């Protein structure tokens, strides 16, 4: 048993933290208020190897383990959860290719991402189907020498900036998950209509839109696996991506904790610093407990995946726990800041708004519990 990060992982964390303090934190509030897409941060992050952590060395990637990736992920989200959602989006979109693509597809689709800062979106959710992803209504029809894709996707991160879309669709919606298939679609294919930018509660710098596919012609060789293989690919993707998304929550939680400690030592009420009031001490102790437990769960979920072992339940446990903890911790941070916490002049209200999303995307906190309960109780 060994809980220590390697010297390289510590260095990766320190370097990513430095990046987040110098390149993200100074812009976070302004980008949030103006809904500015962090394109410069993404480009710089790409140059440093923070983007596309899932691409294997064989296709030009950096060969990071998932433990490496969540370690870096925590440090980047410390700077801004919203920016990091957009930085990490490529990992969600490209992992299906890593886990379900052929050699030829990996070479064709993944390598270009290591050669220039391209963006990709992961398109699963639809207006009428969120948690019940197997109910996908977007269809893919076999036209002999090509496919035709039709339907609408909703809440797609980075959609307005993506060069590629990995789209989940069905050969026949009546087949439910048995019909689901995954295809790789270029933004330049004809018939793609990108919706307007959604106005959100938080993570405002991250771009979120709907997309409509109007009889889009897709080459045969762009389907991952075969028809009906999509569900398996999606589930494997989630095993990999849930620890990553959980690290977004952890970074936000750690930031809220650090800011709370700093403020509680500075601010005096009743002639003593807030940190001398037991009620505040307990809130901070609670934050620390949740941060440490989240980190261990995330590391375990990532480590299991790196060992090639099944991590579905622990990944869901990590995701639900880290996301719910982040919501609680950031809410308490606002509480500790009192009236100042409620103001946009201080950084904590943004953390609270940003945190909420993590309980919703990549499987809501309820859906994670569903996964955990199914495993614990048997089907």
Ligand X SMILES: Cc1cc2nc3c(=O)[nH]c(=O)nc-3n(C[C@H](O)[C@H](O)[C@H](O)COP(=O)(O)OP(=O)(O)OC[C@H]3O[C@@H](n4cnc5c(N)ncnc54)[C@H](O)[C@@H]3O)c2cc1C
The residues binding ligand X (CB under 6 A) are 121-125, 130-131, 155-157, 200, 203, 208, 267, 269-270, 274, 277, 279-280, 335-336, 338-340, 342, 357, 360-362, 364, 366-367, 370
Q: How many CB atoms lie within 10 A of CB 132?
A: 11
H or E element at residue 208: strand 208-219
Strands 164-170 and 192-194: unpaired
Residue 89's nearest CA partner among 69, 119, 131 is: 119
> What share of residues in the chain are helix, strand, coil (percent, to 5)?
60, 15, 25
Q: Which of 5, 35, 36, 49 binds other proteins (CB under 8 A)?
A: 49
| Rounded Cα distance, 15 and 62, in Å | 16
Answer for the pair 318, 300: CB distance below 8 angstroms, yes or no.
yes
- Which residues lie below 8 Å from residue 98, measured CB to CB, with a gap of 6+? 54, 55, 56, 106, 110, 240
Is position 345 annotated as part of the catalytic site? no
Q: Assess 11 for contact with other proteins (CB under 8 A).
A: yes
Residue 172's nearest CA partner among 138, 132, 206, 144 is: 138
Stretch that binds other proteins, among 6-14, 35-43, 88-96, 125-133 (CB under 8 A): 6-14
Among ligand X, other proteins, none, the one that 270 touches (CB under a kind-dependent 5 to 8 A) is ligand X
Q: How many CB atoms lie within 10 A of CB 296?
A: 13
Among other proteins, ligand X, none, the one that 364 touches (CB under a kind-dependent 5 to 8 A) is ligand X
CB of 263 to ligand X, least distance (A): 8
Among ligand X, other proteins, none, the one that 15 touches (CB under a kind-dependent 5 to 8 A) is other proteins
CB of 87 to other proteins, least distance (A): 13
| Rounded Cα distance, 258 and 74, in Å | 14
Binding to other proteins in span 325-354, by CB under 8 A: none
Q: Which of 26, 56, 63, 128 binds other proteins (CB under 8 A)?
A: 63
Among ligand X, other proteins, none, the one that 19 touches (CB under a kind-dependent 5 to 8 A) is other proteins
CB of 55 to other proteins, least distance (A): 12
Bridge partners of 253?
A: none
CB of 352 to other proteins, least distance (A): 26
Q: Which of 39, 48, 293, 360 binds other proteins (CB under 8 A)?
A: 48
Among ligand X, other proteins, none, the one that 280 touches (CB under a kind-dependent 5 to 8 A) is ligand X
Residue written as token pair 């095993």:
239
Structure tokens at 303: 């480590």
Residues labelled as active-site residues:
362
**Which spans of this chain sit near other proteins (rule: CB under 8 A)?**
7-8, 11-12, 15, 18-19, 47-50, 62-64, 68, 72
């Amino acid at each position: 048993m060994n809980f220590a990060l390697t010297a390289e992982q510590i260095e990766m964390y320190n370097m990513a933290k430095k990046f987040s303090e110098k390149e993200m934190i100074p812009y976070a509030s302004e980008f949030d208020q103006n809904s500015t897409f962090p394109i410069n941060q993404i480009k710089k992050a790409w140059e440093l190897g923070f983007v596309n952590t899932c691409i294997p060395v064989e296709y030009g990637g950096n060969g990071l383990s998932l433990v490496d990736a969540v370690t870096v992920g925590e440090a980047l989200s410390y700077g801004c959860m919203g920016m990091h959602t957009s930085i990490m989006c490529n990992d969600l979109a490209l992992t299906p290719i890593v886990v379900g693509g052929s050699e030829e597809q990996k070479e064709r689709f993944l390598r270009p991402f290591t050669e220039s800062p391209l963006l990709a979106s992961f398109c699963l959710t639809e207006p009428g189907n969120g948690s019940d992803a197997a109910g996908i209504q977007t269809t893919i029809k076999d036209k002999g020498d090509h496919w035709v894709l039709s339907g609408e996707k909703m809440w797609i991160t980075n959609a307005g900036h993506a060069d590629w879309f990995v789209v989940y669709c069905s050969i026949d919606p009546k087949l439910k998950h048995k019909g689901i298939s995954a295809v790789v679609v270029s933004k330049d294919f004809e018939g793609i209509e990108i919706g307007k930018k959604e106005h959100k509660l938080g993570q405002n710098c991250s771009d979120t839109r709907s997309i409509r596919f109007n009889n889009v012609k897709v080459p045969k060789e762009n389907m991952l696996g075969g028809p009906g293989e999509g569900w398996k690919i999606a589930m494997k993707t989630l095993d990999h991506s849930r620890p990553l998304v959980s690290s977004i929550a952890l970074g936000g939680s750690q930031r809220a904790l650090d800011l709370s400690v700093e403020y509680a030592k500075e601010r005096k009420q009743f002639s003593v610093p807030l940190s001398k009031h037991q009620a505040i001490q307990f809130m901070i102790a609670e934050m620390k407990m949740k941060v440490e437990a989240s980190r261990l769960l995330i590391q375990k979920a990532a480590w299991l995946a790196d060992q090639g072992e099944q991590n579905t339940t622990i990944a869901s446990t990590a995701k639900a726990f880290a996301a719910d903890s982040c919501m609680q911790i950031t809410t308490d941070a606002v509480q500790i800041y009192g009236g100042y916490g409620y103001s946009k002049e201080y950084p904590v209200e943004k953390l609270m708004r940003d945190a909420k999303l993590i309980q919703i995307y990549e499987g809501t906190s309820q859906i994670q519990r569903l996964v955990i309960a199914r495993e614990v109780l048997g089907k």
